[in-house]
Amino acid sequence: MEEIRKYPFIRHKGIVRQSAEGLTLDPYNHDHNWEGYQFFREAFDKILLERAIAYGAEFQSGVVLKSIEFDRNSIASLSTNLGSFKADFFVDATGRSASLAKKLGIGYLVKSKPLFVHYGYVQTGGSDLFDSPQMIWDEAGWTWISQITENLISWNRLSPCNPKISKGWLPAQIANLNSAGPPKAADVTWRIANKISAENYFLLGDAAFVLDPVSSKGVLKAIMSGMMCGHLLAQLNPRTSNIDDIHRYYNNWVNEWFLRDLQVLRSVYDGRGVGI
Ligand X SMILES: Cc1cc2nc3c(=O)[nH]c(=O)nc-3n(C[C@H](O)[C@H](O)[C@H](O)COP(=O)(O)OP(=O)(O)OC[C@H]3O[C@@H](n4cnc5c(N)ncnc54)[C@H](O)[C@@H]3O)c2cc1C
Candidate residues 222, 246, 254, 265; the one interacting with ligand X per rule CB under 6 A = 222
Q: What is the DSSP letter of 215?
A: G
Q: Does the protein bind ligand X through residue 97 (CB under 6 A)?
A: yes
Candidate residues 17, 103, 195, 217; the one interacting with ligand X per rule CB under 6 A = 217
Q: Does the protein bind ligand X through residue 186 (CB under 6 A)?
A: yes
Min dist. Cβ of residue 162 to ligand X (A): 17
Candidate residues 63, 68, 152, 236; the one interacting with ligand X per rule CB under 6 A = 63
**Using CA atoms, how far apart are residues 41 and 148, in angstroms rounded to an integer?**
9
The number of CA neighbours under 13 Å toward the Cβ of 106 is: 24
Min dist. Cβ of residue 218 to ligand X (A): 2
Q: Does the protein bind ligand X through residue 78 (CB under 6 A)?
A: no
Q: Does the protein bind ligand X through residue 183 (CB under 6 A)?
A: no
CB atoms closer than 10 angstroms to residue 114: 10
Q: Does the protein bind ligand X through residue 205 (CB under 6 A)?
A: yes
**Using CA atoms, how far apart are residues 101 and 104, in angstroms rounded to an integer?**
5
Min dist. Cβ of residue 73 to ligand X (A): 22
Candidate residues 23, 49, 82, 219; the one interacting with ligand X per rule CB under 6 A = 219
Buried b (16+ CB within 10 A) or exposed e, 122-158: bebeeeeebbbbbbbbeeebbbbbbbbeeeebbbbbb
Residues 195/105, Cβ–Cβ less than 8 Å: no
**Using CA atoms, how far apart are residues 150 and 125, in angstroms rounded to an integer?**
8
Candidate residues 37, 85, 119, 253; the one interacting with ligand X per rule CB under 6 A = 119
Which residues form the interface with ligand X (CB under 6 A)? 63, 65, 93-97, 99, 117, 119, 156, 186, 188, 205-207, 213, 216-220, 222
